[in-house]
Amino acid sequence: MTDTHSGGCQCGAVRYRITGLLGHSGLCHCRMCQKAGGNFGMVLLTTPRKQFEWTRGKPSEFASTPVTVRGFCDRCGTPLYMHETGDENYEITLGSLDSPDIAPPVDEVGIESKRIWFDTITTLPGHSTTDDRAPEDLARLVNLQHPDHDTDG
């Protein structure tokens, strides 16, 4: 049996499929990943290009170095991948997978740029969205995001 995994952007304009075994998943703290994701870094999943296909739309690209492009949806801005010239792999953003829990990160790279507070974020007090919002506020939070599965449109 062949494993098949799908993913895409937040609005659903760009979708992809990975067929086969998933590769290495790691958390990158480099400053470029911080800027590209607008966050503390990015979790990237190595995927051979030959196992990867776009099933809806095509991403736009930004050249973040002379040999590196970063793909994203030009409608909603979702970061989708990083690719280096000559590399046979894509580095897919783990959060763009429909089931991101299937490939938890196994290591961290680019730690020279790790935010000084990063190691403490899992110790912060936690609470759910419903703890902070009145029922009438929650009713206005209609999810317009594409569902976490392939659709016809």
Q: Which of the 8 DSSP states describes residue 57?
A: S
At residue 111, what is the residue type? I
Looking at every residue in the chain, the average pLDDT score rounds to 94
| Residue 153 counted as domain residue | no
pLDDT at residue 69 tops 90: yes
pLDDT at residue 1 tops 80: no
| Residue 152 counted as domain residue | no
| Residue 75 counted as domain residue | yes
| Residue 149 counted as domain residue | no
pLDDT tens-digit series, residues 33-64: 999 999 999 999 999 999 999 999 999 999 99
pLDDT tens-digit series, residues 121-150: 999 999 998 888 888 888 888 888 898 898
| Residue 44 counted as domain residue | yes
Q: What mean pLDDT comes out for the span 114-122?
A: 95
pLDDT value, residue 140: 87
Percentage of the chain beyond pLDDT 90 is 82
> CATH number of the domain that 85 lies in?
2.170.150.70
Q: Which domain holds residue 9?
A: 4-118+127-140
Distance CA 133, CA 77 (A): 27
| Residue 147 counted as domain residue | no
| Residue 148 counted as domain residue | no
Token pair recorded at residue 21:
């075994």
Give residues with Cβ within 8 angstroms of 38, minimum separation 6.
Answer: none
DSSP secondary structure of 102-151? GS---EEE-GGG--TTGGGGGGS----HHHHS-HHHHHH----SPPSS--
User: How many structural domains are present in the chain?
Assistant: 1
pLDDT value, residue 2: 65
| Residue 33 counted as domain residue | yes
Q: Taking a C-beta distance cutoff of 8 angstroms, is the pair 14, 56 a contact? A: yes
What is the value of pTM for the model shown? 0.90
